[in-house]
Amino acid sequence: MTDIVDRATRSRMMSGIRGRDTKPEIIVRKYLHAQGLRYRIAPKDLPGKPDIVLPKYHTVVFVHGCFWHRHPGCRYAATPASNRDFWQIKFKQNLARDIRVRSQLAKHGWKVLIVWECEVSTERLQWLVSEIRSIHQP
């Protein structure tokens, strides 16, 4: 199957995808702030540059895009029909990096929480806040 747009258009579309400050990230950050939780954004001194870091709770939050991080069973995690080999390699590398980063953070005592972009809802954000607050504070 071929792509519905030409290579130049697809390249332009893909280059416009943000790596940080995405709509789901901003929603999560605003909710955490409204709940009185304070955080740092994407510090470069931690493996994987987590989207949100709550130093007081020694917790990091990744807001994963379903497509890029392959949310199991999610309709947004579809593999493009064109250039399948490229995409399968790309997704495999992303998943391996996710596992490596979570392992490195856990080894250094960080609790890692993940929120999927399709799950950014009040219910899921309430769960996130309760998970963070349940962590013993130093």
Instruction: Give the DSSP letter string of 71-130.
Output: -TT-GGGPPPSTTHHHHHHHHHHHHHHHHHHHHHHHHTT-EEEEEEGGG-SHHHHHHHHH
Q: What pTM was estimated for this model as a whole?
A: 0.83
At 135 the pLDDT is 82
Task: Give yes or no for a contact between 97 and 91, defined as CB atoms under 8 angstroms apart.
Answer: no
Residues 97-136: pLDDT tens digits? 999 999 999 999 999 999 999 999 888 899 999 999 998 6
Task: Give yes or no for a contact between 43 and 30, defined as CB atoms under 8 angstroms apart.
Answer: no
Other C-beta atoms lying within 10 Å of the C-beta of residue 102: 18
Cα atoms in the Cβ-side hemisphere of radius 13 Å centred on 118 = 12
Residues 21-39: pLDDT tens digits? 788 999 999 999 999 999 9
At 58 the pLDDT is 95
19-44+54-134: which CATH architecture?
A: 3-Layer(aba) Sandwich (3.40)
pLDDT band at residue 54, thresholds of 50, 70 and 90?
Answer: very high
Report DSSP state, residue 132: H
At 44 the pLDDT is 85
Mean pLDDT for all residues in the chain:
88
Kindly tell me if the per-residue pLDDT of 13 is higher than 80. no
Alpha-carbon dihedral sign for residues 72, 74, 77, 82: positive
Q: Which residue has the higher pLDDT, 127 or 43?
A: 127
Domain ranges of the chain: 19-44+54-134
Q: Among 6-10, 53-57, 66-70, 99-103, name the one with the lowest average pLDDT.
A: 6-10
